[in-house]
Amino acid sequence: MSLEATILAIVLAGALGLFVFLPLLGGEETPPPRQGVRGGTPRQRHALETLEAEKYRILRAIRDLDFDYDMDKLTDDAYAAQRIYLIRLALAIFKRIDALEAEIASQQARVEEAIAALRAARR
């Protein structure tokens, strides 16, 4: 085997290894960008980003828990208790996201009303 062929084989094996193992080493999936809700204060936007990240972390934890249970790493009781806890936590996060989005929408509606009243007063 020639030197060029050996180097090519090593490079291809390395690229294949990266392709296979990088998802396992990569870690966190990034949440999709927020759609629909604009505006709000910087604090509100930061809170939404934090809640979204936590939501995805909890959903990954539920996925991992299900996988561990399917692989018989957990007892039925441990699985049920942990899954209930994680689902309740996810539900609380979903409710907080909904409340914060409603708060932002309400603020935006008040701003729009104030702008409309100002424009009407100028006429």
Domain boundaries, the chain: 36-122
Q: What is the pTM of this model?
A: 0.66
In whole angstroms, give the CA distance from residue 64 to residue 103. Answer: 33
**In this predicted structure, what is the pLDDT of residue 73?**
94
> Which is nearest to 38 in space by CA: 94, 101, 112, 90?
101
Gyration radius (Cα) of the chain, Å: 25
Helical ranges in the chain per DSSP H: 3-26, 42-70, 76-122
For each successive 10 residues of the chain (123 residues), what is the average pLDDT? 76 66 57 61 93 96 96 94 96 96 93 92 89
